[in-house]
Amino acid sequence: MINIVSFDTKLPEYAAPCERPVIQKLVDYALWDRGTVSLWDGEELSVDRSTDRMEILKNLAQTDMDQLEAYNADGSMRGWFLLIYNNGSEQEPLVVISDYGVNDWTESTYRKLDETFGRWTEL
């Protein structure tokens, strides 16, 4: 089975092209149902509880890594993902996700991403 995924080929600008669809889908899942996203770029909070998809995507991959934190509409944390860019992802796009906090939301989100992008090398 082949999944068709449409995505903006230019964002995040400094991420590897094969990482962009994974990252964009992760942001979409994080924003689902009035969610918000914060980004820690290893030095500072570059985005703080934003609902603006474009703002989030433009701020990702400005450094070698980001921690994406997803929050529910009520402000409670859904979970976090550590993204490390250009980390061997050319053969496996999910490698951009280096780590994540283990809970139901992050596990479910990772499984959905794996269903879409995890069989990259088999195509």
Which pLDDT tens digit goes with each residue over 65-79? 999 999 999 999 999
Task: Read off φ and ψ for residue 122, nearest 5 degrees.
Answer: -85, -10
Decide if pLDDT at 120 tops 60. Answer: no
At residue 6, the pLDDT reads: 67
Angle at 53 between CA 8 and CA 112, to 5 degrees: 75
Q: What is the pTM of this model?
A: 0.90
Least confident window among 2-11, 89-98, 100-109: 2-11
Over pLDDT 90: what percentage of the chain? 79
Average pLDDT over residues 101-120: 91
